[in-house]
Amino acid sequence: MSKTYFEILRPGINTTIQDSGRNSLYHIGITISGAMDQRNYKFANNIVNNKLNKAVIEFAYQGPLLKLRNGTINFVITGEVSFNLIRNNFQVEEGRCYQNYNLYDDEQIDIISTKKSVYGYLSISGGFELNETWKSYSINTKAQIGPNNGKKYSMNEKIFVKESNIKNIKNNKINYKDSFNNIIRVIKGTNFDYFSNQAQKTFFNKKYTVSRLVDRMGMRLDGPNLENIVNTNIKSEGLVRGVIQVPADGKPIILLSDHGTIGGYPKIAIVISADLDKISQLTPGTEINFKEVSLEEAENIFKAYNEETNKYINESN
């Protein structure tokens, strides 16, 4: 019997496989990777009855055009995404996010674009047929690790899927609407006192704009320069997702999922865990404000974030 797969008729801008991330390898320079928006990633798996940590397709801005071959599947798309289903009778059906659909042999999913956001997710019931690298299916394009030889997908490539027994799959739905606000909560960084009093005030009081230099590794911001009065270099040390470092040019950079594991720029602040999904969805040109919170506040906000995620997950079942 032939295998079921998606044929990629249009790859989209940055289409990769992602999951919850690749851990325990920072010490040899392999970064965490994983879905940029972990909440939408979990929702995608939840709606098609997968375990929450299954691998999914992540796309950015314009997504792929996928044609299903040799089988039937059940899938969902999460995020703020406009997409169509192209049925076998050439009828085009407008897709809705956060609800699952059956897709039959030779039908297509046309992911047109994300709306006022960057990343969207496509999960299929039962998941994809992929090889694991260091306990993760995430593609890390910088180190070229993971499925598809660590590269983003190109035209005419295939993504093999597990065929669904669609009789056993019920309709599922989450009523989720991302509540966007432009306040990013942070904890002061380990080099906060490297910056002048004026710079410390500027960081919290002035707006910063997401520049065009943004990818899965990091996000450069435009805005007032932050004056460093101690040293613009530190001895290279470990980094984590959410670190905001400021190189000699005074412009902050936020580190995201594919960040380098060590670096030598001073850290002015770190984005709290609960705001990492939000920050990854910001498009170039968006203005943001940083707000300081304490460690205890950050922990409580994260607890509330987790509870909210689980509430949506429980409601859908």
Stretch that binds another protein, among 2-10, 64-72, 85-93, 295-303 (CB under 8 A): 295-303
Give the one residue of 53, 196, 261, 289 binding another protein; rule: CB under 8 A: 261
Q: In the complex, what is the shortest distance from the CB of residue 187 to another protein, in angstroms, rounded to a whole number?
A: 5
Task: Decide: residue 244, CB within 10 A, 0-12 exposed, 13-18 middle, 19+ buried.
Answer: buried
Give the residue from 212, 199, 185, 216 showing the smallest Cα distance to 292. Answer: 185
- 242 touches another protein by CB under 8 A: yes
- Tell me the C-alpha to C-alpha distance, in Å, between residue 61 and each of 13, 113, 211: 7, 5, 16
Stretch that binds another protein, among 69-77, 96-104, 157-165, 257-265 (CB under 8 A): 257-265
Q: In the complex, what is the shortest distance from the CB of residue 188 to another protein, in angstroms, rounded to a whole number?
A: 10
- 313 touches another protein by CB under 8 A: no
Smaller CB separation from another protein, 273 or 281: 273
Give the one residue of 93, 206, 260, 304 binding another protein; rule: CB under 8 A: 260
- 23 touches another protein by CB under 8 A: yes
Binding mask 211-230 for another protein (x = CB under 8 A): --------------------
- 64 touches another protein by CB under 8 A: no
Give the one residue of 32, 55, 221, 279 binding another protein; rule: CB under 8 A: 32
- 182 touches another protein by CB under 8 A: no
Query: For binding to another protein (CB under 8 A), which residues are involved?
Result: 23-30, 32, 133-134, 142-145, 187, 189-190, 235-240, 242-243, 260-263, 267, 270-273, 295, 298-299, 302, 306
